Chain A
Amino acid sequence: MRKIFDLVANNAVPAVFIIISAFAIPLSGYSASYLIQELLTRIGRNSFLILSLLIPIMAGMGLNFGMVLGAMAGQIGLLFICDWGVVGIPGMVLACLIGTPIAIVLGIFCGHVLNRAKGREMVTSYILGFFINGVYQMTVLYLMGWVIPITNPALLLSRGYGVRNAVSLLGIRGVLDNLIPTIITGTQGAGQFLSVNGAKSYILMQIPFLEGAIRIPLATLVVIALFCVFIVWFRKTKLGQDMRAIGQSQSVADSSGIPVNRTRIIAIVISTVLACYGQIIYLQNMGTLNTYNSHDQTGMFSIAALLIGGASVSRATIANVFAGVILFHLMFIVAPVAGKNLIGDAQIGEYFRVFVSYGIIAISLVLHAWRRNREREAARRSLRGNKGGE
């Protein structure tokens, strides 16, 4: 009975989303190939960011709302390569290289702050995100071009310092996605998609009954796959084991000599650095950087997607990430059109998905806290049952 309840409780969120999507997809009237194309693009764009959330969850630090710190570090890296005019894959890698030390420093700071606020890591990291956003804005808006050398006039505001609101990332736009140009076509008209945007594409496979063609961001997917391998490997290391131990019981881990605070900081640093790379991958797909807004929603959308994938505050797997990306973005794509077709107002679908993002986080948090309090109760009860031999 309890097992069934747990099964339902653990998978209720994805199930609801599958049902919503099942209704909304026909309403939207999108073709399968369009949806698959969009989903593939979004998987490539967002999965890395979401994967960066896994490690703090493993270490029992909850959802790392502080991942926006990493996103900001990545953006600073991108701003520099834009200024220097480094393009293509070297540009992306260089942006990562520049972003890494910034992300590490921010991560260490975040880790120390969170160690001071044990038990309320989430709200603290959330506010920390806002705080660092202030510092980031000060840096980018006032110090860049004044103290920090930025010379490219295309980047700077007309007043001579501060970075413009929108920065074009033409130089690295889609470089990773199109590194290995790959498409899937239907059996019909295979030839006409052989070259897309002047680049020769490699046809991966032909699927009958598929209309049109689907371009696959193969290199991005490979990077994400490598990252998944990294996480699987990381779980097997001593460090991963220590994090799992800390996640389950800080006091036991501490008494067995595991450096709890240090390990927690490492978890946050890793998450922040990965979020930095994730943001760079995300922006290379988008092609433009909204200097002051791009990172705003990153944390919220990534967390919502992870939760929709069936993860909870204390447990998340790689499968949750991909289930989450697919379900969340499926709704993202179809909700406005479905809303328009249903009620005649696209705005409603727009608001609906915002509501769903926040609502799902709220519900997950509530369920987590509720379950935790109930488990505490149950643990107490079991203590009674075991005492003595009655």
Chain B
Amino acid sequence: MTEILNEYAGLVMPYLEAWGISLCQAGLIALVVVWLLLYVLRGVSFFRFLMRWYQRLIVVCGLAALGFWLFYIGREHQIFLDNKAVNDYKPLEQVNVSINGGEAAELMPRDRDMRKTVGPEFEIKAEIFDDKGGIVNTITRRVVVGCSKDIMISLPILAGGSEDFVMPSPR
């Protein structure tokens, strides 16, 4: 979605820049043009236009915004949990990961598992064990997914303390 929007914005912006007007000015001009069109076609007075069409426009924009917001908060993400070696980080002996306090996933070295979450961000809690089964470390982080669909979390990097543990989905 966002990509598509960016694409459209990318189509329009160069023209606006070429004419030397800002997005805000462009919006106002568009408003007047729409009114003129309605005036010619249906004789809508400017006042009526403001009171009705403008309000309708606002409502439509509001609904569109609501749509985006719903999309944002309602989107389900697949969180891939990965316990493989990445760059210099070695896989962990055993790690139990739970997302938003849900059922924990137990990952051995080279394991990969998947959990689903809803919403733009989630809390990840990783309990890292040593080879004897004792807890070495517990890490809790909030991760922001935003609008992107699926992400992968590299547990070795997470355990290593780096912030770059969010990686693109393997698919």
Q: Do chains A and B touch in the complex (CB under 8 A)?
A: yes
Contacts from A to B (Cβ < 8 Å): 81, 84-91, 93-94, 97-98, 171
A94 touching B71, Cβ below 8 Å: yes
Quick one: which of A84, A88, A171 contacts B71, CB cutoff 8 A? Answer: A84
Q: What's the Cα separation between A90 and B77 when bound, in Å?
A: 14
Q: Which residues of B contact A90 (CB under 8 A)?
A: 70-71, 73-74
Q: Determine if B118 is an interface residue (Cβ-Cβ < 8 Å).
A: yes
Q: Determine if B112 is an interface residue (Cβ-Cβ < 8 Å).
A: no
Residue of B nearest to A93 (CB): B70
A97 touching B76, Cβ below 8 Å: no
Quick one: which of B71, B74, B76 contacts A89, CB cutoff 8 A? Answer: B74
B63 touching A94, Cβ below 8 Å: no
Residue of A nearest to B64 (CB): A97
13 pairs of residues in contact across A and B, judged by CB atoms under 8 Å: A84-B1, A84-B149, A85-B75, A85-B76, A85-B149, A86-B71, A86-B75, A87-B118, A90-B73, A93-B74, A94-B67, A94-B71, A97-B67
Residue of B nearest to A95 (CB): B70
| Number of A-B residue pairs with CB-CB distance less than 8 Å in the complex they form | 40
B63 touching A91, Cβ below 8 Å: no
B76 touching A86, Cβ below 8 Å: yes
Q: What's the Cα separation between A81 and B73 when bound, in Å?
A: 13
Q: Which residues of A contact B149 (CB under 8 A)?
A: 84-85
- How far in angstroms is the closest Cβ of chain B from A143? 17
Q: What's the Cα separation between A186 and B149 when bound, in Å?
A: 45
- How far in angstroms is the closest Cβ of chain B from A175? 10
Q: Which residues of A contact B70 (CB under 8 A)?
A: 86, 90-91, 93-94, 97
Q: Which residues of B contact A171 (CB under 8 A)?
A: 76
- How far in angstroms is the closest Cβ of chain B from A179? 14
A86 touching B74, Cβ below 8 Å: yes
Q: Determine if B61 is an interface residue (Cβ-Cβ < 8 Å).
A: no
> Considering the complex, which residues of chain B in the window 102-123 have a beta carbon less than 8 Å from any beta carbon of chain A?
118
Q: Which residues of A contact B75 (CB under 8 A)?
A: 84-87
Given known contacts A94-B71, A97-B70, A171-B76, is B63 in contact with A88 (CB within 8 Å)? no
A87 touching B63, Cβ below 8 Å: no
Given known contacts A84-B1, A85-B149, is B67 in contact with A91 (CB within 8 Å)? no
Q: What's the Cα separation between A88 and B73 when bound, in Å?
A: 10
Q: Determine if B135 is an interface residue (Cβ-Cβ < 8 Å).
A: no
B74 touching A91, Cβ below 8 Å: yes
Q: Determine if B66 is an interface residue (Cβ-Cβ < 8 Å).
A: yes
- One digit per residue, 1 when the CB lies within 8 angstroms of any chain A CB and 0 when it does not, for chain B 7-26 equals 00000000000000000000
Residue of B nearest to A149 (CB): B4
Q: What's the Cα separation between A166 and B74 when bound, in Å?
A: 23
Q: What's the Cα separation between A87 and B119 when bound, in Å?
A: 9
Q: Which residues of B contact A85 (CB under 8 A)?
A: 75-77, 149
Residue of B nearest to A90 (CB): B74
Q: What's the Cα separation between A91 and B69 when bound, in Å?
A: 11
Q: What's the Cα separation between A87 and B63 when bound, in Å?
A: 18
- One digit per residue, 1 when the CB lies within 8 angstroms of any chain A CB and 0 when it does not, for chain B 68-92 equals 0011011111000000000000000
- How far in angstroms is the closest Cβ of chain B from A286? 19
Q: Which residues of B contact A87 (CB under 8 A)?
A: 74-76, 118
Residue of B nearest to A87 (CB): B76
- How far in angstroms is the closest Cβ of chain B from A101? 9
Q: Which residues of B contact A97 (CB under 8 A)?
A: 63, 66-67, 70
Q: A91-B74, A94-B67, A97-B66 are in contact. List 10 more A-B contacts (CB 8 A).
A: A85-B149, A86-B71, A86-B75, A87-B74, A88-B74, A88-B118, A91-B70, A94-B70, A97-B70, A171-B76
Q: What's the Cα separation between A95 and B25 when bound, in Å?
A: 33
Q: What's the Cα separation between A93 and B74 when bound, in Å?
A: 10
- How far in angstroms is the closest Cβ of chain A from B69? 8
Q: What's the Cα separation between A97 and B66 when bound, in Å?
A: 9
Q: Which residues of B contact A93 (CB under 8 A)?
A: 66, 70, 74
- How far in angstroms is the closest Cβ of chain A from B76? 4
- How far in angstroms is the closest Cβ of chain A from B71? 6
Q: Which residues of A contact B76 (CB under 8 A)?
A: 85-87, 171
- How far in angstroms is the closest Cβ of chain B from A77? 11
Q: What's the Cα separation between A185 and B1 when bound, in Å?
A: 46
Closest 3 CB pairs of A and B: A90-B74, A90-B70, A86-B74
Q: Which residues of A contact B73 (CB under 8 A)?
A: 90
- One digit per residue, 1 when the CB lies within 8 angstroms of any chain A CB and 0 when it does not, for chain B 111-149 equals 000000010000000000000000000000000000001
Residue of B nearest to A151 (CB): B149
Q: What's the Cα separation between A360 and B63 when bound, in Å?
A: 41
Q: What's the Cα separation between A171 and B116 when bound, in Å?
A: 11
Q: What's the Cα separation between A90 and B70 when bound, in Å?
A: 5
Q: Which residues of B contact A84 (CB under 8 A)?
A: 1, 71, 75, 149
Q: What's the Cα separation between A208 and B76 when bound, in Å?
A: 42
Residue of A nearest to B78 (CB): A85
Q: Which residues of B contact A88 (CB under 8 A)?
A: 74, 118
Q: What's the Cα separation between A81 and B1 when bound, in Å?
A: 12
